[in-house]
Amino acid sequence: MPLYKPQNRRDRAKFMQTLEIPVLLALEAEAKRRGLTMQEFVRAVVVPEWMEVHNLRPANPPLTARPPEIRPEIRVNRLKGD
């Protein structure tokens, strides 16, 4: 049973993530290289890619702050342990 059931497509749940410094720096550098904020990068690239790798499907397509043509479809280098 899910911990949170959205009432509509724009309904969101918030969470906090703790990262080791080298992981944080790698993610920040990749976000900056793509012209994205860290939040945009995690939401629009990292989470969807992780879900794809693990054969999971989101209930709704992600809402993104920028149009797809601005976000390159370059894969993030895999980090140990994922």
Name the more confident of 62 and 29.
29
Residue 80 lies in a domain: no
Task: Look up the pTM and report it.
Answer: 0.57
Interval 30-79: pLDDT, tens? 999 999 999 999 989 998 888 888 888 766 665 555 555 545 555 555 55
Count of H-run helices and E-run strands, the chain:
3, 0
Q: Is residue 6 part of a domain?
A: no
Question: Distance between CA atoms of 61 and 57, rounded to whole angstroms?
Answer: 9
- Kindly state whether residue 40 falls inside one of the protein's structural domains: yes
Check residue 62 and give its pLDDT: 57
Residue 16 counted as domain residue: no
Q: What is the count of structural domains for the chain?
A: 1
Q: Does any domain span residue 39?
A: yes
- Is residue 7 domain-resident? no
Flag whether 36 is in a domain. yes
**For residue 52, what are the domain limits?**
21-70
